[in-house]
Amino acid sequence: MYNVLIVKYGEIGVKGKNRYIFENKLIKNIKNMLKPIGTFKVYKEYGRIYVDLEDYEYEEVIEEVKKVFGIVGVCPGVRAEKDYDKLKELALKMLEEKIEEGAKSFKVESRRGDKSFRLTSQEMSLDIGGYLVSQVKDRIKVDVRNPEIKIKCELRESHIMVYSDTVPGYGGLPLGTNGKAMSLLSGGIDSPVATWMVAKRGMEIEAIHFHSYPFTSEKSQEKVRDLAKILSKYCGRIKLHKVNIVEIQKAIGLNCREEETTIISRRFMMRIAQRVAEKRFCDALVTGESIGQVASQTIQGLTCTNASVTLPVFRPLIAMDKSDIVSLAEKIGTFETSIIPEEDCCSVFSPKKPVTKPRLERIEKSETELDVEKLIQDAIDNIEVEDIEF
């Protein structure tokens, strides 16, 4: 029955004179998302974006389109040449389908895009509603205040449209409209969710992963590749920078207080991430930190971490409960991969009693025992890079 998808966007609609830039980017992103299925005609008319379905199953196409950031809803609809009688017939066909699905009440909402038409939008609703009632009799009742379904009828300048359901999207802004960020991607639950959330606000993503091979296995790196692949479904191709920090962790273990090893290691990761980010023209760093979740994520620990870099650090999970983060991880499909048991670089060299309230001046004094620049440069010189795509 359905031959078109109506794509609804949210914040893009208030972008004023720049709206067309966001619309064009959204159209491009929809086409890219649908490439694995086929080549689709995606276009805009009268402030709307449409996807022609042709012979494709609409459920399959909706499932992909709703993942595109910037979209708040997708409506399967029927589009036809402009003919008011045909509009009423299509509305009846859609209502009959809803009755078969078990709907108990309905109302008609109309929109007159062609102002030369003899009926107003309200008059169209009354006319179409009366026609539908005369055809379906008492098989479904009219409820204009709280209907179970709405039959939406549009008479545009060049076509007619009927639709009812709206499948919710993720919202946000189109990918690539708000700069680029470097995400510190581990194999845990949090950082993939944080990456997804920043991408949802329109930022392109690159990722950097720190590992301690051979103290951590190659499987832990494969796990991160899998997470990046899942994220690439939403974020597009992701350049993954893999950094071995074993020598840094050894140097810290030999020269610094044991309880400070986690926070100092974290500061090295941030410095390296910033160097790579600047080389890759990224505007910010992204982490999955949340206040108080682990020892290094106390406010004092975050203060010490921040002091090691000058780029903005985005922490979208900072005030979220773990249960909320897990729910979002399940929703976007990263959770099952994240919980696969593999050691990461932080757990391998984790102290028995990490400092929870580090003082920046003491941490900086401890770092004077290290050749910071050489350790950083050696790690950067041995970075491995992969392009990950879904």
Bind-site residues: 184-185, 209-210, 266, 288, 297
Nearest Cα to Cα of residue 316 among 199, 142, 214, 210: 199
| Alpha-carbon span 65 to 57, nearest angstrom | 13
Q: Which helix (H) or strand (E) holds 79?
A: strand 71-81
The answer to whether 193 and 328 have CB atoms below 8 angstroms apart is: yes
DSSP 8-state symbol, 341: -
Task: Return the sign of the alpha-carbon dihedral for residues 208, 292, 339, 172.
Answer: negative
Q: Can you read off the two tokens belonging to residue 184?
A: 């510190």
| Alpha-carbon span 161 to 81, nearest angstrom | 9
Three-state SS for 222?
A: helix
| Alpha-carbon span 279 to 276, nearest angstrom | 5
Q: What are the helix (H) ranges across the chain?
A: 19-34, 58-65, 84-100, 121-136, 190-200, 218-235, 246-255, 261-279, 299-306, 322-332, 335-338, 345-348, 360-367, 372-381
Q: If 0-12 CB within 10 Å is exposed, 13-18 middle and 19+ buried, where does residue 59 land?
A: exposed
Which amino acid belongs to residue 146? N
| Alpha-carbon span 112 to 118, nearest angstrom | 10
| Alpha-carbon span 131 to 278, nearest angstrom | 64
Residues 6+ apart with CB under 8 A from 191: 183, 184, 185, 286, 287, 288
Q: If 0-12 CB within 10 Å is exposed, 13-18 middle and 19+ buried, where does residue 333 land?
A: middle
Which residues make up each annotated binding site for ATP?
184-185, 209-210, 266, 288, 297
Residue with tokens 């991160």, as numbered in its chain: 224
Residues 6+ apart with CB under 8 A from 77: 2, 3, 4, 5, 6, 161, 162, 163
